[in-house]
Amino acid sequence: MEAGHCDNLVRPDQRLIGYPLAMQALVAIVGGVLCAVFAAAPAAAQDLVISNARIIVGNGTVIESGALVVRGGRIASVGAGAPAPAGARQIDGRGLTLMPGFIDGHRHIISGNADQWLKDQAATRMQEFLEAGYTTLLAGGGPAEGNLELKRRLDAGVLKGPRVIPAAQINLNNTTPEQARAEMRRLAGLGIRFIGEENINPKPPTPGQIENLRAIVDESKNVGALVMVHAVSPQAMVAAVDAGVPLLVHTPHFGWVTNEEAKKVAAAGVLNLSTAAFGVPLFDVFSQDNVPTFRDGKRWPDDILDGDGRGQEAGYKTVNARTLWDNGVVYGFGTDTGYLPLKGLAQELKALNLMFSMKDIVKLMGPNTAAFVQMSRDIGSLEPGKLADIVAFPANPLDGYWNMLNAVVVIKGGDIVVDKRAGRR
């Protein structure tokens, strides 16, 4: 609704001559409410040109001094130079490096009571994600209804933040295949497309878990959902692939993945996320008090560290990541964190850089993770036709992952949502 139309809505005396005053007043109230609603809705993205910037496209191409043109929230062109649309906002990108906006394929967003979190923390937490460079998050855990409400508020413009893809989980224990199918139908009916399992045993899954997993995979095909599995051992990974699961949200950290197992994942077309930093802190936690801890300082439960896994999580994670990659698995980016986004980003990048070049990290963070969240047509690279999700840095990320921890401009769908250049906030 254009702003100029509001006057006509809230002045019914010019249009309702002869009608009762009560009717005129009612129309005035309704018109005022409509104008307020439309005024609060997010405005259309302004056309934009970023020139003189290094552009890491995300498809293997790097343009050393290029221009990126945004029209209607999408990338219109990217190259050595392009004419600016009339009235477009201009950004001189001299000294900046552009990359596709970050995607986290496995992020725990809401903690505690969802209603209270949405009231007290949502705005601050969403801003933290934007300032870290994230433009898309797949909610890998938390309350289904809360994740849906968060998405609704973001889509309506009530909150500013990354786009959120809701997810939910189904417990594979203490249930029957029929009950698991019913829960799959219920969650899909809420509008959730990504549905994970809970409690699949690492060494190996029980027959009952496998039966329930096969049931939800089969039912997911009837309701248009996708099943994600938290496979943390090679045995669980293979069992999930055999059950027809399309998405794996962890790199196994209970034992070594063989080349044959990795080839099986790749041949099945199953996509995998990193969550590599989950184990990497075990490289350096023993030097002080010999008590292994999570990245957020909490003690590791004994069942994670039992048997041959004790003290070896980091080695399993990083080596298995490379084994999966080298055997053709589409391997994407996920942090599996629920705390400060920038901290989780730094830890995951540090872990991945033990085994991957920065060129590979750009690929797995962009196109590969876009494929995992089923948005390859819209995000993951800075190519024409895709949403203008862009993050800009004052240094080149290809020179080191630490340069990806200082986003100065973040653009989501063509809107500048963070601008920390000199003299701006």
Percent of the chain with pLDDT strictly greater than 90: 69
Question: Does 250 lie in the same domain as 132?
Answer: yes
Confidence band for 254, pLDDT divided at 50, 70 and 90: confident
Question: Does 210 lie in the same domain as 186?
Answer: yes
Phi–psi pair at 176, nearest 5 degrees: -110, 165
Question: Does 18 lie in the same domain as 131?
Answer: no
In terms of C-beta density within 10 A (0-12 exposed, 13-18 middle, 19 or more buried), how is residue 74 classed? middle
Question: Does 391 lie in the same domain as 373?
Answer: no
Confidence band for 291, pLDDT divided at 50, 70 and 90: low
In terms of C-beta density within 10 A (0-12 exposed, 13-18 middle, 19 or more buried), how is residue 75 classed? buried
DSSP label at 95?
T
Give the angle 81-415-333 at the CA atoms, nearest 5°. 85
Q: What is the pLDDT of residues 335-382, one digit of tens each?
A: 999 889 999 999 999 999 989 999 999 999 999 999 999 999 999 999
Averaged confidence pLDDT in the chain = 85
Question: Does 325 lie in the same domain as 203?
Answer: yes
Question: Does 30 lie in the same domain as 48?
Answer: no
Question: What's 400's domain CATH number?
Answer: 2.30.40.10
Residues 147, 151, 157, 163, CA torsion sign: positive
Give the chain's length: 425
Confidence band for 318, pLDDT divided at 50, 70 and 90: confident
Token couple for 42: 């997010």
Question: Does 327 lie in the same domain as 418?
Answer: no
Question: Does 377 lie in the same domain as 255?
Answer: yes
Question: Does 166 lie in the same domain as 86?
Answer: no
Question: What's 264's domain CATH number?
Answer: 3.20.20.140
Q: In terms of pLDDT, which residue wins out, 41 or 260?
A: 260
The secondary structure of the chain in percent helix, strand, coil, rounded to multiples of 5, reads: 40, 20, 40
What is the domain count for the chain?
A: 3
Question: Does 219 lie in the same domain as 141?
Answer: yes
Question: Does 117 lie in the same domain as 26?
Answer: no
SS3 138: strand
Task: Say how far apart CA 267 and CA 258 lie, in whole Å.
Answer: 14
- CA distance to 73, 145, 165, 294, per residue, from 168 (Å): 29, 9, 10, 24
Question: Does 367 lie in the same domain as 255?
Answer: yes
Task: Residue 70: give the domain boundaries.
Answer: 43-101+386-425
Task: Say how far apart CA 86 and CA 395 lie, in whole Å.
Answer: 30
